[in-house]
Amino acid sequence: MATLGFIEYSDSSPEVRAVYDDIMRTRNTDWINNFWKALAHDPASLRRTWQSVKEIMAPGALDPLANEMIYLAVSASNQCGYCIASHTAAARKAGMTDSMLSELMAVVGMANESNRLASGYQVEIDEQFKPR
Amino acid sequence: MATLGFIEYSDSSPEVRAVYDDIMRTRNTDWINNFWKALAHDPASLRRTWQSVKEIMAPGALDPLANEMIYLAVSASNQCGYCIASHTAAARKAGMTDSMLSELMAVVGMANESNRLASGYQVEIDEQFKPR
Amino acid sequence: MATLGFIEYSDSSPEVRAVYDDIMRTRNTDWINNFWKALAHDPASLRRTWQSVKEIMAPGALDPLANEMIYLAVSASNQCGYCIASHTAAARKAGMTDSMLSELMAVVGMANESNRLASGYQVEIDEQFKPR
Amino acid sequence: MATLGFIEYSDSSPEVRAVYDDIMRTRNTDWINNFWKALAHDPASLRRTWQSVKEIMAPGALDPLANEMIYLAVSASNQCGYCIASHTAAARKAGMTDSMLSELMAVVGMANESNRLASGYQVEIDEQFKPR
Amino acid sequence: MATLGFIEYSDSSPEVRAVYDDIMRTRNTDWINNFWKALAHDPASLRRTWQSVKEIMAPGALDPLANEMIYLAVSASNQCGYCIASHTAAARKAGMTDSMLSELMAVVGMANESNRLASGYQVEIDEQFKPR
Amino acid sequence: MATLGFIEYSDSSPEVRAVYDDIMRTRNTDWINNFWKALAHDPASLRRTWQSVKEIMAPGALDPLANEMIYLAVSASNQCGYCIASHTAAARKAGMTDSMLSELMAVVGMANESNRLASGYQVEIDEQFKPR
């Protein structure tokens, strides 16, 4: 179920299939999750989104586990059901333990609380914290 | 500037001062930032919020740098000006480099984009991603 | 299913029925969707909300298709499941094609990404962009 | 400062002036705050928005203080700077004390925290809580 | 269903059970809702979150009904399905009538509308509204 | 002012300069706005973000004015100050009149209101609106 339905691998055009193949190769899996199958009706969006995700989530100054945990933290904060489910799975695959998940959620909760206290009390930014 | 104004260390009650002292000791600093001075009009909130922050941000399954980066990611996603400024400073103090900051922001941006694509296209959660 | 349940046409008071009739006449449909049936427990809210929607969504400087697409863009950005489903249907009825839907979602995704990059990097507003 | 600038009382059309007069009479004040002066470039929006606010904020099952506190709670949760400032003032005028403000902010903070914990842990709704 | 599953009372450790007992005693109920059972995998989070909720929701400058209504208003504004369901039930238990619920939702809706109008039109804060 | 400061054209590396040149050529302007100068510390993010924006905002099933108005609608809904300012300017350059701006804001406001009413009343999606 998705607005435009899913495009399965077996029904995909060469352009879409090339992206699907790269997703499976990069992630070392043998299936494509619904997010990509829903996007595939617009091959340009599929390609562009995948290229960006691939580039951003690759190892760099942050390792893949850190990237996945930040992704999950944002998704939990935004309350995106699909994204919480898929990135909980991805973060676990990258090494997140149950304890790490619990601590991540505690930080997400606390940040959401203190964000509203800071804004709600109209707290002025300290000189020490201002960017140069 | 803040709704109820700030309570400075020199004007603080013993109850508030005890929290201020613990903040400076725990963070190894010699000043109190505006967030706490704005909260201090309600000593119970000050104490409770600080105790939670102290407990959550302490080393555990995640180290302080990871905690601060998740905090910053959520604050950037929520667009809380005060929190972005203060936690950018805190994350840097904990070891975040400019490259790590840039990668963090890239993940935050991408997660916010894909969260809306997943919701906007009404993508159903894959069976493989559902919690048991 | 809704907090207060639904008020069906056949069970509605004259005040509620008058709104239901106006909704069906204005939209050229023969049924009332759940949103209005859930609101109808508070006839004043039902009437006021419908009057506002009717006035705002009418042709003006923007045509109904543009209005519906903006409505859908906001609902996708807010991740409101009910509103995404109902306004996808409404926008299609007003002429939105699959390609237009895909481009709309791409803009919604990109705007959500760049909103966080701008806030997260604490970017100052250019003089050229400030309102007079 | 506002996108379209402000329409002052002395420069207002009869249609806008009638709304301004009703705002001042209803609120028992002798000035118009910037929100309305920014909206007044679109007299239809000005009139419709004011009529809705006037109707919703009037005494009913909830008294004006409760209405203003709920308005402030939502504005703090959404982190709308203008709205926090204006509705803090309005709630105080309606009787909100400093202690009530602090408790309101504590509830807003806690709700924002627990909202993310519930979503982040993918907690299923208890049968006992489901609407009939 | 929840990411880490639920910890039932009969399977709980003494530490978790002590919190469960306090929840049931404080709320005068004989069951534990899913939120707490999902959190219980991290006993420190369970204890800390419950202590904060208990302290914040207790009678003070605001009575329990006001606290629950503010909690529900924030949850509706954040569109947290679990929290809307559970706090609608809690607010009703504390005395919220159907009319009060409808007025609350009307204020939540209007605040969300005007928050965006104020931000969208880039409305500057009036001098009269600025905190000292 | 920005977390990492701005990279001016005259100080930019060849890689950054190539993006700056393409931005000015594509937009037919002779200056670079702060957003890009803040991103330029991370040339990979600068290039990727600009490529995506360029591709998404190009004429397609939606014309540039429609794209800019949707971008502005999302930014107003998210209350991103920088983005509201910059995309108000961009939408105007693409042809948005004051009347179109006012109607856009009215739709954004109403969508934000009705999103919360639909979620707050826990309204079930009508069968007619469900994706196939």
Q: What pLDDT, on the 0 to 100 scale, is given for residue E1? A: 87
> Which residue in D74, D87, D97, D132 has the most chain E C-beta atoms within 10 A of its own C-beta, making it the best mutation to test that interface?
D74
Q: Is residue A132 predicted with pLDDT exceeding 80?
A: no
Instruction: Specify the length of chain F in residues.
Output: 132
When pLDDT is averaged across residues D30-51 and rounded to a whole number, the result is 98
Task: Out of C3, C71, C124, name the one closest to residue F1 (CB).
Answer: C124
Chain C: give the shortest CA distance to residue A10, in Å: 21
Residues D3, F88 contacting (CB under 8 angstroms)? yes
Q: Which residues of chain F have pLDDT under 50?
A: none
Average pLDDT, rounded, for chain A: 97
The alpha carbons of chain E give a radius of gyration, in whole angstroms, of: 18
Q: What pLDDT, on the 0 to 100 scale, is given for residue B1? A: 86
Q: What span, in angstroms and rounded, lies between the C-alpha atoms of B39 and B2?
A: 10
pLDDT band at A48 (very low <50, low <70, confident <90, very high): very high
| C-alpha closest to that of A28 among A52, A64, A61 | A64
Instruction: Specify the length of chain A in residues.
Output: 132
Q: Is B123 on the interface with E (CB under 8 A)?
A: no
F99: amino acid identity, one letter: S
Chain E: give the shortest CA distance to residue D77, in Å: 7
Q: Which residues of B touch C119 (CB under 8 A)?
A: 76, 79, 81, 84
Please indicate whether, in this complex, the C-beta atoms of B108 and C116 are within 8 angstroms of each other.
yes
Q: Is residue A100 predicted with pLDDT exceeding 90?
A: yes
Q: What pLDDT, on the 0 to 100 scale, is given for residue F1? A: 85
Residues D4, F101 contacting (CB under 8 angstroms)? yes
Q: Is residue E57 predicted with pLDDT exceeding 90?
A: yes
Residues A93, A28 contacting (CB under 8 angstroms)? no
Q: How many inter-chain contacts (A to C, CB under 8 Å) are there?
A: 19
| C-alpha closest to that of C33 among C85, C101, C69 | C85
Q: What pLDDT, on the 0 to 100 scale, is given for residue A43? A: 97
pLDDT band at C1 (very low <50, low <70, confident <90, very high): confident
For D:31-50, CB contacts with E below 8 A are: 31, 33-35, 38-39, 45, 49
Q: Is residue E119 predicted with pLDDT exceeding 90?
A: yes
Residues C108, B116 contacting (CB under 8 angstroms)? yes
Residues E16, E7 contacting (CB under 8 angstroms)? yes
Task: Out of E77, E79, E122, name the one closest to residue F85 (CB).
Answer: E122
Q: What span, in angstroms and rounded, lies between the C-alpha atoms of C73 and C107?
A: 9
Chain F: give the shortest CA distance to residue D4, in Å: 8
Q: Is E14 on the interface with B (CB under 8 A)?
A: no
Say how many CA atoms lie within 13 Å of B118 toward its Cβ.
23
Please indicate whether, in this complex, the C-beta atoms of D131 and C52 are within 8 angstroms of each other.
no
**Residue E7 CB coordination number (10 Å):** 22
D52: exposed, middle or buried (C-beta count within 10 Å: 0-12, 13-18, 19+)? buried
pLDDT band at C10 (very low <50, low <70, confident <90, very high): very high
C62: exposed, middle or buried (C-beta count within 10 Å: 0-12, 13-18, 19+)? buried
Q: How far is CA D98 from CA B15, B39, D93, D101, in A?
A: 18, 11, 12, 5
Rounded (10°) angle between helices F81-93 and C98-120: 130
Q: Which residues of C touch F104 (CB under 8 A)?
A: 62, 70
Average pLDDT, rounded, for chain D: 97
**Residue that the structure tokens 């399954």 belong to:** B61
Q: Is residue E132 predicted with pLDDT exceeding 90?
A: no
When pLDDT is averaged across residues A90-101 and rounded to a whole number, the result is 98
Residues F74, C73 contacting (CB under 8 angstroms)? yes
CA B107-B108-B112 angle, to 5 degrees, is 115
Chain E: give the shortest CA distance to residue C130, in Å: 9
Q: What pLDDT, on the 0 to 100 scale, is given for residue D1? A: 86
Q: How many inter-chain contacts (B to C, CB under 8 Å) are there?
A: 64
- The nearest alpha carbon in chain B to C124 belongs to B81
Q: How far is CA E87 from CA D56, D87, D106, E74, E101, in A?
A: 22, 24, 16, 10, 11
Q: What pLDDT, on the 0 to 100 scale, is given for residue D28? A: 94
- The nearest alpha carbon in chain F to E123 belongs to F81
Q: Which residues of A touch C122 (CB under 8 A)?
A: 131
Please indicate whether, in this complex, the C-beta atoms of B105 and F41 are within 8 angstroms of each other.
no
E71-106 as b/e: b if 16+ CB within 10 A: bbbbbbbbbbbbbbbbbbbbbbebebeeebbbbbbb
**Residue F9 CB coordination number (10 Å):** 14
Q: What span, in angstroms and rounded, lies between the C-alpha atoms of C25 and B17?
A: 66
Q: Is residue C66 predicted with pLDDT exceeding 80?
A: yes
Residues E112, F115 contacting (CB under 8 angstroms)? yes
Q: Could you tell me how far CA E128 lies from the centroid of its own chain?
A: 32
Q: What span, in angstroms and rounded, lies between the C-alpha atoms of D74 and D91?
A: 13
Please indicate whether, in this complex, the C-beta atoms of A122 and D77 are within 8 angstroms of each other.
no
Q: ipTM value of the model? A: 0.97
| C-alpha closest to that of D111 among E113, E87, B53, E105 | E87
Strands (E), D1-132: none
**Residue that the structure tokens 């879409």 belong to:** A16
Q: How many inter-chain contacts (D to F, CB under 8 Å) are there?
A: 19
| C-alpha closest to that of C20 among C37, C41, C45, C6 | C37
**Residue that the structure tokens 């969260």 belong to:** B115
Q: Which residues of D touch A117 (CB under 8 A)?
A: 105, 108-109
Q: What span, in angstroms and rounded, lies between the C-alpha atoms of A63 and E68?
A: 42
Q: Is residue C113 predicted with pLDDT exceeding 90?
A: yes
Please indicate whether, in this complex, the C-beta atoms of B102 and F45 are within 8 angstroms of each other.
yes
> Which residue in E47, E55, E129 has the most chain B C-beta atoms within 10 A of its own C-beta, making it the best mutation to test that interface?
E55
- B84-88: Cβ within 8 A, 24+ apart: B84/C119, B84/C120, B84/C122, B85/A125, B85/A126, B85/A129, B85/A130, B85/A131, B85/C122, B86/A118, B86/A125, B86/A126, B86/A129, B86/B33, B86/B35, B87/A111, B88/A129, B88/A131, B88/C122, B88/F3
Q: What span, in angstroms and rounded, lies between the C-alpha atoms of B100 and B109?
A: 14
Q: What pLDDT, on the 0 to 100 scale, is given for residue D108? A: 98
- The nearest alpha carbon in chain E to D132 belongs to E85
When pLDDT is averaged across residues C84-113 and rounded to a whole number, the result is 98
**Residue A127 CB coordination number (10 Å):** 7
Q: What pLDDT, on the 0 to 100 scale, is given for residue D132? A: 72
Q: Is B58 on the interface with A (CB under 8 A)?
A: no
Residue C34 in tokens: 């759940």
Q: Is C5 on the interface with D (CB under 8 A)?
A: yes
pTM score over 0.95: yes
| C-alpha closest to that of E117 among A44, D19, A122, D83 | D83
Residues C45, A44 contacting (CB under 8 angstroms)? no
E126: exposed, middle or buried (C-beta count within 10 Å: 0-12, 13-18, 19+)? middle
Residues A131, B13 contacting (CB under 8 angstroms)? no
**Residue C44 CB coordination number (10 Å):** 15
Q: How far is CA D124 from CA D110, D120, E42, E79, F119, in A?
A: 20, 11, 18, 15, 16
Residues D71, D87 contacting (CB under 8 angstroms)? yes
E93: CB partners within 8 A, 6+ apart: none
CA dihedral over C127, C128, C132, D1, signed as positive or negative: negative
The per-residue DSSP string of C69-110 comes to HHHHHHHHHHT-HHHHHHHHHHHHHTT--HHHHHHHHHHHHH
Q: Which residues of F touch B123 (CB under 8 A)?
A: none
